[in-house]
Amino acid sequence: MAIARPIDRRLYFIFDRAHSLITKEAQNYLQKTSEIGTSQAAVLIYLGYHDRCRLTDLAKAIGRNNASITGLVERMEAKLLLSRMTLFSDRRSKAVALTEKGWSEREKVMNNFRNFNDRMMKGLSEEEISVVMKFLQTAPENVQFLSEK
């Protein structure tokens, strides 16, 4: 017989609820402070470390599929935050790079996320933050192939 546990003890549901609430607050905070959303912020941050990367690498890095990254990049190009270019090494592949405006917006986003992260971690010790980080890095790997079994 299965042991009935209150829903608040089931890790997935707690994680899902926290994810939804944090994502909503991050979206609201970013739009108020920089007028872009979390997906565009993720692109700006990633390109700051990997400028002129291939679209497929960008999609993989921020957890999007190729179709959604194309639309996201098009919207960001329209805002003059980035530009697409053909790679010399493989003319079939496209790369993306931050524009001057993109670099400027990235700096604002980085500052906003520092503030948001500081607020989110308020009341947690460094040890507790390390445990949370380890969990967030390990849990996806632990369940990745569960649906294939």
The tens digit of pLDDT for each residue in 108-136 reads 999 999 999 999 999 999 999 999 999 99
> What tokens appear for 13 in the block?
């549901």
| 3-state SS, residue 82 | strand
pLDDT of residue 69: 93
Name all domains of the chain by residue range, CATH numbers in brackets: 29-141 (1.10.10.10)
- Over range 81-106, report the average pLDDT: 89
What is the share, in percent, of the chain residues with pLDDT greater than 70? Answer: 93
Question: Taking residues 59-75, what's their average pLDDT?
Answer: 93
Task: For residues 125 and 101, give the distance between their C-alpha atoms in angstroms, rounded to a whole number.
Answer: 37
Alpha-carbon distances of 61 from 17, 35, 39, 69, 103, rounded to whole Å: 24, 23, 12, 11, 19
Q: What is the pLDDT of residue 115?
A: 92
As a whole number of Å, the end-to-end CA separation of the chain is 24
pLDDT of residue 42: 95
- Judged against a pLDDT cut of 60, whether residue 149 lies above it is answered with no
Assigned token pair, 24: 């909503």
Distance, CA of 117 to CA of 101 (rounded, Å)? 24
Which long-range contacts (C-beta less than 8 Å, at least 24 apart) are formed by 14-22? 15/139, 22/120
- The whole-number pLDDT of residue 8 equals 59
Single-letter amino acid, residue 64: R
- Can you tell me which residue has the tokens 């042991």? 3
Q: What is this structure's pTM?
A: 0.81
Q: Is the pLDDT of residue 59 over 70?
A: yes
Q: What is the pLDDT of residues 13-49, one digit of tens each?
A: 889 999 999 999 999 998 888 878 999 999 999 999 9
